[in-house]
Structure 1
Amino acid sequence: MTYRVLAINPGSTSTKFAVYEDEKPILVKGIEHSIDEISKFNNILDQYEMRKDQIHDILDENNIDLKTIDTIVGRCGGLPPVKSGAYKINDAMIDRLRNNPTLEHASNLGAVIAYSLSKEIGVDAYIYDPVCVDEIIDIARPSGLKEMDRHCLTHALNTRAMAIKYAKMNGKDYSDLNLIVAHLGGGISLNVHQKGRMVDFISDEEGPFSPERAGKLPVTRVIDLCYSGKYNHKEMKKRVRGQGGIFSYLNTVDAREVESKIEAGDEYAKLIYDAMALQIAKGIGELATVVNGEVDAIIITGGIAYSKYMTESIKNRVKFIAPVEILPGENELEALAFGGFRVLKGEEEARIYKED
């Protein structure tokens, strides 16, 4: 049987969406939203009608009837901790996202738009692997400070999709494997999958620095800087998320620009870039201990995974742990769509979202 899935991935200034038929994309689009367009709205979720109408228009322009869609899958983030996989969007979820989201982010629009469109055509809509997926084992929760337990925030959507993809590529079942996945983008996060469950992680604020984030820092020196009088609360947050990492050293967040500097003989750029690779490798090694070193494969994904320089630097340091597979790209629309296909085909049962 042929199925069609509409996947929707809103960002702060863009809406990316795609129509997949039998797991092949037949339409992939990205709508850019100007600051003027966005500034007309008081909050993020007020934008949903505008973004939904633009999706409608592009589907019409490409002769794709919304009624031919079997399910719609939207990106989502601002929910309390949930399990991995698909959740059927319902009124309780929309109420939470509208009135009490745990995270104010444009990705929340994915669920709202998907639900609205699904009601127009009478199909079910889902979210899949939101950033709030939290399945970590109890022993991984204590942070070292009682009132600051660790809560999982990671690139769950792409990393889990790549773990499932790796298993399928190798004729194996995801639930039979132990995998470490490193997502390399503007932020860098790593997680370890044990027999189909993400049991531990290293977030983008407690692990390797990245193009724009500082990652883990010497905490007492951070406290000193916070009280130095140089920065207020907002400025300090910007220092570690937005102006940290490679940006703080080289005044760029573009890894390609850094590699150009290295090719031109810039030794300082090489030092910083190699330091980032080392920190990523150390994070992989750290997560290998969670499964007692029993790792079937290490997967490197995300935008920076297109860089042979970076992936080879990491691979050379961690290949003694397990084979390394490079699966580059963000792959978010594909991950959303393929999750929808698994539900449609009965390979996976969607959960029902409930408020505790």
Structure 2
Amino acid sequence: MSYRVLVINPGSTSTKFAVYEDENPILIKGIEHDASEIAKFNNILDQYEMRKEKIQKILDENNIDLKSINTIVGRCGGLPPVKSGAYKINDEMIERLRTNPTLDHASNLGAVIAYSLANEIGVNSYIYDPVCVDECIDIARPSGLKGMDRHCLTHALNTRAMAIKYAKMNNKDYKDLNLIVAHLGGGISLNVHEKGRMVDFVSDEDGPFSPSRAGRLPVTRVIDACYSGEYTHKEMKKRVRGEGGLYSYMNTFDAREVEAKINNGDEYAKLIYDAMVLQIAKSIGELATVVNGDVDAIIITGGIAYSKYMTEGIKKRVKFIAPVEILPGENELEALAFGGLRVLKGEEEARIYKEE
């Protein structure tokens, strides 16, 4: 029996969605939303009818009957910490997202739209590996300052999907492996998977700098900057998360532009880019200690993983730990679809979301 899965991944100014027939995409679309269109709504969740109607319109234009869909999987983020895998969307989850989300982000619309469409056709809907997945071991939580424990926020969806993909490629069971996965995108995060559980992480705030984020910083100097009078609270946040990283050094968010400068002999660009390579490699080494160096493979994924300069630089520094596999791309739609398929096929059991 074949299955059809509709997956929905909303962003702040776009809605990406796809229809998969088993593991094959039969429709992949991205809808761009003008700023003026978004500005009409008082809050993010109010946008759901508008975005839902646009998805329905494109499905109709491509002769895909919504009733042919077996399940719908949406991206989500604004929930309290959850386990990895699938969660069946229910009224309790939607109420939390509408009234008290832990993260006010467009990705929350994925769950709301999926639930609404699924209810229309009488099928189950799910979220899968949201950014709030937290399976950390207890000793990974203390930060060094009481009251500021570490909270796991990583690119869980793509990193776990690539870990599962790696296991399948090598005829292994994901739950038998220890893997370190580095997601290299606009933000960079890493996590370590010990026998099927993401037990520790390096977030995009406490790890390597990235195209737009400053990552780990000397905290006393940050405190001095916060109280210097030069920056407002909003400006300081933007400096470290939005205008940090490559942008602060090179005035561009595009790693390809930095590589082009390196190829043209720009020594400063090479220094900064190599520093980012080194910081990523150091974070991989850091996570290797969590599993006592018993690492089966290191996986590098995300958009910047298409860069041979970047991946070869990292590989050179960490290959002594374990073999390195490059699986580039964001892969979020595929990850949502394959998660939904595993539930439909009975290979994975979905959890039921419940407020504590």
TM-score under structure 2 length normalisation: 1.00
Detail structure 1 runs of 4+ shifted over 6 Å in the superposition. Answer: none
Q: Look up the match of 2:106.
A: 106
Return the alpha-carbon distance in structure 2 between the equivalents of residues 69 and 355 of structure 1. 29
- DSSP-derived class of the 2:253 partner: coil
- DSSP-derived class of the 1:317 partner: helix
Aligned counterparts, 1:85-96, within 5 A: 85-96=85-96
Return the alpha-carbon distance in structure 2 between the equivalents of residues 53 and 64 of structure 1. 14
- DSSP-derived class of the 1:179 partner: strand
Q: What are the ranges of 5 or more consecutive residues in structure 1 without an aligned counterpart?
A: none
Q: Look up the match of 1:134.
A: 134
- DSSP-derived class of the 2:295 partner: coil
AA of the residue aligned to 1:26: I
Q: What are the ranges of 5 or more consecutive residues in structure 2 without an aligned counterpart?
A: none
Q: Look up the match of 2:152.
A: 152
- DSSP-derived class of the 2:312 partner: helix
**Superposition deviation, residue 353 in structure 1:** 0.2
Return the alpha-carbon distance in structure 1 between the equivalents of residues 210 and 230 of structure 2. 24
AA of the residue aligned to 2:164: I
Return the alpha-carbon distance in structure 1 between the equivalents of residues 128 and 273 of structure 2. 33
**Superposition deviation, residue 279 in structure 1:** 0.1
**Superposition deviation, residue 294 in structure 1:** 0.2
Q: Look up the match of 2:257.
A: 257
Return the alpha-carbon distance in structure 1 between the equivalents of residues 40 and 281 of structure 2. 44
Return the alpha-carbon distance in structure 1 between the equivalents of residues 232 and 56 of structure 2. 43
Return the alpha-carbon distance in structure 1 between the equivalents of residues 196 and 160 of structure 2. 9
Aligned counterparts, 1:1-356, within 5 A: 1-356=1-356
AA of the residue aligned to 1:277: V
AA of the residue aligned to 2:49: E
**Superposition deviation, residue 233 in structure 1:** 0.4
Q: Deviations over 1:49-92 (max 9, x none)?
A: 00000000000000000000000000000000000000000000
Return the alpha-carbon distance in structure 1 between the equivalents of residues 165 and 311 of structure 2. 19
AA of the residue aligned to 2:166: Y
Q: Deviations over 1:225-251 (max 9, x none)?
A: 100000010000000000000000000
Report the aligned-residue RMSD. 0.3
Q: Deviations over 1:242-290 (max 9, x none)?
A: 0000000000000011111111111000000000000000000000000
AA of the residue aligned to 1:314: I
- DSSP-derived class of the 1:299 partner: strand
Return the alpha-carbon distance in structure 2 between the equivalents of residues 165 and 193 of structure 1. 13
Return the alpha-carbon distance in structure 2 between the equivalents of residues 228 and 147 of structure 1. 25
Return the alpha-carbon distance in structure 1 between the equivalents of residues 256 and 195 of structure 2. 35
AA of the residue aligned to 2:136: I
- Equivalent pairs counted in the alignment come to 356
**Superposition deviation, residue 31 in structure 1:** 0.2
- DSSP-derived class of the 1:282 partner: helix
Return the alpha-carbon distance in structure 2 between the equivalents of residues 226 and 7 of structure 1. 41
**Superposition deviation, residue 113 in structure 1:** 0.2
- DSSP-derived class of the 1:189 partner: strand
Return the alpha-carbon distance in structure 2 between the equivalents of residues 83 and 53 of structure 1. 31
Report the identity percentage. 86
TM-score under structure 1 length normalisation: 1.00
Return the alpha-carbon distance in structure 1 between the equivalents of residues 145 and 80 of structure 2. 22
Return the alpha-carbon distance in structure 1 between the equivalents of residues 86 and 48 of structure 2. 22
Return the alpha-carbon distance in structure 2 between the equivalents of residues 180 and 259 of structure 1. 26
AA of the residue aligned to 1:195: K
Q: Deviations over 1:173-200 (max 9, x none)?
A: 0000000000000000000000000000
**Superposition deviation, residue 203 in structure 1:** 0.2
Return the alpha-carbon distance in structure 2 between the equivalents of residues 250 and 51 of structure 1. 36
- DSSP-derived class of the 1:281 partner: helix
**Superposition deviation, residue 202 in structure 1:** 0.2
Return the alpha-carbon distance in structure 2 between the equivalents of residues 154 and 76 of structure 1. 13
Q: Deviations over 1:73-112 (max 9, x none)?
A: 0000000000000000000000000000000000000000
Return the alpha-carbon distance in structure 1 between the equivalents of residues 307 and 120 of structure 2. 43
**Superposition deviation, residue 22 in structure 1:** 1.4
